[in-house]
Amino acid sequence: MKYKRILLKLSGEALIGEQGFGIDQKLLKQYAEEIRDAHNKGVQIAIVIGGGNIFRGVQGESGGIDRVHGDYMGMLATVINSMAIQSALEQLDVRTRLLTAIKMEQIAEPFIQRRALRHLQKGRVVIFGAGTGNPYFTTDTAASLRAIEIKADVILKGTRVDGIYTSDPEKDKTATKYDSISFKEVYKKELNVMDMTAFTLCNENNLPIIVFDMNKKGNLSKIVDGNKVGTLVEV
C-alpha cells in the first residue's frame, strides 16, 4: 500500500449522473463501494465533496443572490451531499464521521483537527462538510486545507476525465494526457487542475495531487496500491 492516509475530493456535479440534477443513487452507491474497497485495504480516508449538483454560490450571484449569501447556501449543499455519502457508506458497514465547518450539532460534529485525526486513527472514514466555513473559498480550497491539517499523503481528485490534458479533451480531440507534471509546469501552461488558492496551498506544503477518473471501477484501489492511474502533480 503506497498511501497511508488520503483525502478524496469529489465534485458535487459528479453525483448528478445522467439525471441532470440532484443525486443519482446508483452512482452514489458505486462511489461508496469504491471507497469501501479502498478502506478495506487499511488506508485512512477523508472525503470532501462539492455541492454543485444542488447549488453553487457563483451561480446564485448571477441570479441576483448576494455572493456571501450564495456561498453559504453552497456550503449547506455540500452538507447534503456529505450526509448522502455517509449514509451510503454506512449501508455498506463502513464506520464514518461527518465533521462540518459550520456548527449543526443535530447532524454532525464541528470540525476540530485533533478529533478528525483521532477518527482516522480509529479506522473511520471522515467526511468534511460545509467547505472552509467561509465565503469566497471553493471546496477545492477546503480539500487542500483539510488535507494539510490531517497530514494526508496525497489529494485524490476524482473527476469525469482520466487525468490532466494539454487542453479540454471533451472539446479538443487532439489533447494529450500527462502521466505526471510539476506544479511549476501547471502554472506555466495555465492548466485547470484546481482553483489557484487550493493549488498554491498544495504546492507550498509539498502535497501531491492525483487527478483521476472516479467513475472507472477499481481506480481508487489501484491508486492506493501504488499503480499509475490518472495524472500525478508534484513538486
**What pTM did the predictor assign?**
0.94
Q: Which three cell numbers stand for residue 105?
A: 450539532
pLDDT of 61 > 80? The answer is no
Residue type, 186: V
Residue whose C-alpha is closest to residue 111's, from 70, 151, 150: 150
**At residue 20, does pLDDT exceed 90?**
no
Q: How far, in Å, CA of 43 to CA of 168, rounded?
A: 32
Residue 99 pairs in a beta bridge with 109, 128
Cell of 54: 444542488
Express the helix, strand and coil content of the chain in percent, nearest 5 each: 40, 20, 40
What's the CATH code of the domain at 53? 3.40.1160.10
pLDDT of residue 60: 63
CA distance 226 to 29: 24
Cα→Cα distances 149→46, 51, 162, 165, 198, Å:
11, 22, 27, 29, 13
- What's the rounded Cα separation, in Å, for the pair 56 and 51? 7
Find the domain containing 190 and state its range.
5-234
Sign of CA dihedral 60, 62, 67, 71: positive
Nine cell digits for residue 180 = 505526471
Question: Residue 82 belongs to what H/E stretch?
Answer: helix 67-90
Count the domains in the chain: 1
Model pLDDT for residues 181-235, shown as the tens digit of each residue: 999 999 999 998 999 999 999 999 999 999 999 999 999 999 999 999 999 999 9
Lowest-confidence segment of 13-22, 46-55, 57-66 by average pLDDT: 57-66
Give the three-state DSSP class for 142: helix
pLDDT cut 70: percent of the chain above it? 97
220, 178, 235, 231: which is closest to 2 by C-alpha?
Answer: 220
